[in-house]
Amino acid sequence: MPRGRPWDCRSRLRSRSAVTLPTGRDEAAPTPAEAVSAKVASVQPVGGETAGQPVAIESFLAELVVFREAAAAALDGVADSAGLEQARIEFLGARSGRLKAIQKLLSGLALADRPAGGRHFNEAKGAVTALFAAVADRLAAGGAAGATAAAIDVTLPGEPVRLGHVHPITQTIRRVQEIMARLGFESVDGPEVEDQWHNFEALAIPAEHPARDPLDNFYLAVARGSDPLLLRSQTSTVQIRVMENRQPPLRIVSLGRVYRPDTADATHYPMFHQVEGLLIERGTTMAHLKSVLRQLASSFLGGDVHVRFRPSFFPFTEPSVEFDMEWGGRWIEMGGAGMVDPAVLAAVGYDPEDVSGFAFGLGVERIAARRYGVADIRDFYRNDVRFLRQF
């Protein structure tokens, strides 16, 4: 037959399935024992033998082989003691068992063949009897499940269970939330997909502001009406969301992901995490801001950490600063902060003459890298367990 032709292959598959699939009439495929019985019948019909008829030693031995195979196959399928007893009667039954029928053939063997025939007969009988005993033991031990359980060597050393743990960034987030909670700041969440109002406008970042440049933001292909949506570029969005829904006094902290199309390097990644803090009360000053930042830094990094402000600019704070922390003899740039701009307070319906507040934002990766001595923030996202296991 030519090989490798697709149409040959298809027709072969079709004809094969026509032969082997069970039909409505022929419901169950023959069990191994039935199949072997059929073989026995075709080899030599033992049932009809009468004692004393001449039997060739070859066909006698063939009977023994078939008997052993059939018994083994039948025992394989035995699931309970009733099945075992049924098989015992069929194969080893003293009156009409298949072994008994073969025994009757012994006398038909030529005299010279009888000793050999008897030896093979006893051997087959012994082997099949032993098989029955083994199955009886297996059933007594609790069936197949018992057999599996018995196969487990409980004296072998166990497999160590490897416990996972929380990612270092998540650990950092939880630690900051804990510290801030002690200072009375409640943790809140905001959405990562934002609209123009919360990411820019309410934060006094007008339409023409360079911070809204499509090259500096991940705008989405979907929009809400005519308002394009984007992945938030800062967690300051949450300040607006909270102030829109609550009245002062407020102390909240929000930690979450932000997105900027930065090229990944040792200190940048297109997705990172920010801590956003916001406090709105009567009579808030920059001194309050500085002491909160100093508390946060000292608790997080350990020891007495100094904080320094450098003048800066953010559209939504006035005055604005960037703040550094001195730790291990070095000043490290940490984030941005300032007094909430009166325009922002007005945008959410607060009275800037009545309340004031401060806000700050800092990168979670930055403080985590500082605390754990990680030189490259990309390591946090490589998911190399050899790295992650250290925390």
Interface residue list for ligand PHE (CB under 6 A): 234, 236, 314, 317, 336-338, 359-361
Q: Is 297 left (phi over 0), alpha (psi -120 to 50) or beta?
A: alpha
Taking the least distance from each CB to ligand PHE, the nearer of 66 and 337 is: 337
Identify which of 111, 63, 116, 117 has the alpha carbon closest to the alpha carbon of residue 91: 63
Identify which of 32, 34, 53 has the alpha carbon closest to the alpha carbon of residue 101: 53
Q: Where are the beta strands (DSSP E) in 200-262?
A: 218-224, 227-231, 250-259
Contacting residues for 315 by C-beta, under 8 A, at least 6 apart: 203, 204, 205, 209, 211, 341
Taking the least distance from each CB to ligand PHE, the nearer of 269 and 360 is: 360
In three-state secondary structure terms, 108 is: helix
Taking the least distance from each CB to ligand PHE, the nearer of 69 and 333 is: 333
**Least distance (Å) from ligand PHE to the CB of residue 314?**
4
Please say whether the beta carbons of 271 and 293 come within 8 A: no
Tokens of 238: 């949450």
**Least distance (Å) from ligand PHE to the CB of residue 362?**
8
Question: What amino acid is encoded at 89 in this protein?
Answer: I
Taking the least distance from each CB to ligand PHE, the nearer of 80 and 186 is: 186
**Least distance (Å) from ligand PHE to the CB of residue 208?**
19
**Least distance (Å) from ligand PHE to the CB of residue 359?**
4
**Least distance (Å) from ligand PHE to the CB of residue 165?**
29
Q: Look at strands 227-231 and 218-224 and give their pairing.
A: antiparallel
Helices (H), 216-312: 236-245, 286-301
Taking the least distance from each CB to ligand PHE, the nearer of 97 and 315 is: 315
Contacts for 331-336 with beta carbons within 8 Å, 24 or more apart?
332/370, 334/293, 334/297, 334/362, 334/363, 334/366, 334/367, 335/275, 335/360, 335/361, 335/362, 335/363, 335/366, 336/312, 336/360, 336/361, 336/362
Taking the least distance from each CB to ligand PHE, the nearer of 37 and 254 is: 254
**Least distance (Å) from ligand PHE to the CB of residue 306?**
20
**Least distance (Å) from ligand PHE to the CB of residue 312?**
8
User: Which residue's C-beta sits nearest to ligand PHE?
Assistant: 361
In three-state secondary structure terms, 223 is: strand
Q: How far apart are CA 43 and CA 187, in angstroms?
A: 85
Taking the least distance from each CB to ligand PHE, the nearer of 117 and 357 is: 357
Taking the least distance from each CB to ligand PHE, the nearer of 172 and 234 is: 234
Q: Give the CA-trace dihedral at 300, 306, 308, 314, to 10 degrees.
A: 10
Taking the least distance from each CB to ligand PHE, the nearer of 337 and 377 is: 337
**Least distance (Å) from ligand PHE to the CB of residue 237?**
9
β-sheet with 250-259: strand ranges across: 186-187, 250-259, 271-281, 356-363, 330-340, 317-327, 306-314
Query: 């809204």: which residue's tokens?
Result: 212
**Least distance (Å) from ligand PHE to the CB of residue 337?**
5
